[in-house]
Structure 1
Amino acid sequence: MDINDISLEFIALLLLNLAAGALGFVPSFLLTGLNISSFGVATGTVLSLTGEIFGAVLGFYLYRFGFSKVQPSWKKSRFWNYMHKQPAATVFWGILLFRLLPFIPSGLVTAGAALTTINGLLFFIASSLGKIPAVFLEAAIVYGIIETVPAVVQYTVGIAVCLTALFVWLRKRKATGNGLRQ
């Protein structure tokens, strides 16, 4: 593989990590595994961290833009008023805490922050400080799995998880009357 192929793969994975970070509901450990497998533990971890941090910032602004377009009646709800009245310092520490806790959906934290009056710089700082230890821990766990679990088992589990998710999604879609047309 020459340097151009590596650069193209790096850029593609960076864009994928940014998109996943902005969406906030894609399990990041899947991308961390791909990043580490492709570029090693150090560069793969940096790639994951970069994607998570800047993807979250992108998501913050996208959520904030989306919330600005909602119907004004929604902004009268107790939830909106509660979130919007929180002081920036409270929001900052909340973001930091929720980023440190494992298994808290990133998109939920980002969307919640977008509902507040915190500015982008404070969101970036709190989110980054919280994500750094979380990504390093995730990278260590993923690296341990990559190194100890045979590839055939990893692929089998990955395929089984994807097929199960697809099956659940299709059943749910059919149950709500949005089934695929025949």
Structure 2
Amino acid sequence: MDGLTNIEGLAEWIRSWGMLGVIGSILLNIAISVAGVLPSIFLSAANAVVFGLYGGFFLSLTGEVLGAGIAFFLYRYVIRKADRRKKLASFQWVAAINGATRVRKGLAVVLLRLNPLLPSGVINLGAAMTNMTFADFLLATLVGKIPSMVFETFVGHDLVYFGENKLRLVIALAAGALVFLLFWKRGKGQASQSE
């Protein structure tokens, strides 16, 4: 795990692959996404250091979306193989999502992707438990991942190059903290209403 949190070490590892660094980075991002609980901010930062802000952003976004798609596919495969679809359909939240329109299902995934408190693996598994199509899941994941990938890429890059980007880093962290607090406060409010 320590190797995955060392931005400069990850950047050096990606560089050591030469032209294959793009493929290595995408494969590592896929592995992080399939694992579902590992943070990807360090890899996003390393991608920004190696490939620049925009190249690193697009590479990280590609790896995240591919990883989420593979995780969704694997989770759904296991659910079907274990013949758990009928049991899952009896869960109230699964039934509610299954009864929603395609647009509402997609919007739900987009909004969940915006929540910094929710691990990607939970969203991937939750969507795989519903009747959401793979294509709709991928599109919603792409749209929902863009803000977090922008944040991770820029913050990670600016942490490495702190001296050059102090103001932008402070603004990004303040904005990220605000989003975090809004989701946290809303979650607390909903929890107290349900009691």
1:128 to 2:142 alignment: yes
Mapping for residues 15-164 of structure 1, pairs under 5 Å: 15-70=27-82, 72=84, 74-75=87-88, 77-78=90-91, 82=95, 85-87=98-100, 88-148=102-162
TM-score when scaled to structure 2? 0.66
**Moved beyond 6 Å, runs of 4+:** none
Structure 1 pair 85/4, CA: closer, same or farther in 2 (3 Å)? closer
Structure 1 pair 83/61, CA: closer, same or farther in 2 (3 Å)? farther
Assess if the C-alpha contact under 8 Å between 2:45 and 2:152 holds in 1: no
Assess if the C-alpha contact under 8 Å between 1:80 and 1:115 holds in 2: no
Shift in Å, 1:34? 2.0
CA distance in 2, matches of 1:58, 1:147: 33
Alignment RMSD, CA only? 2.4
Structure 1 pair 80/100, CA: closer, same or farther in 2 (3 Å)? closer
- Deviation digits for residues 46-92 of structure 1 (CA, Å, limit 9, x no counterpart): 11111011111111111100111235484475357536634233321
Structure 1 pair 8/114, CA: closer, same or farther in 2 (3 Å)? same
Assess if the C-alpha contact under 8 Å between 1:95 and 1:123 holds in 2: yes
TM-score when scaled to structure 1? 0.70
Structure 1 pair 123/140, CA: closer, same or farther in 2 (3 Å)? same
Aligned residues: 147
* AA at the equivalent of 2:38: V
Gaps of 5+ in 1: 150-182
Identity of aligned residues (%): 32
Gaps of 5+ in 2: 1-14, 164-195
Shift in Å, 1:146? 1.1
CA distance in 1, matches of 2:149, 2:89: 37
SS for the counterpart of 1:102 is: coil
SS for the counterpart of 1:27 is: coil
CA distance in 2, matches of 1:99, 1:24: 13
Structure 1 pair 6/91, CA: closer, same or farther in 2 (3 Å)? same
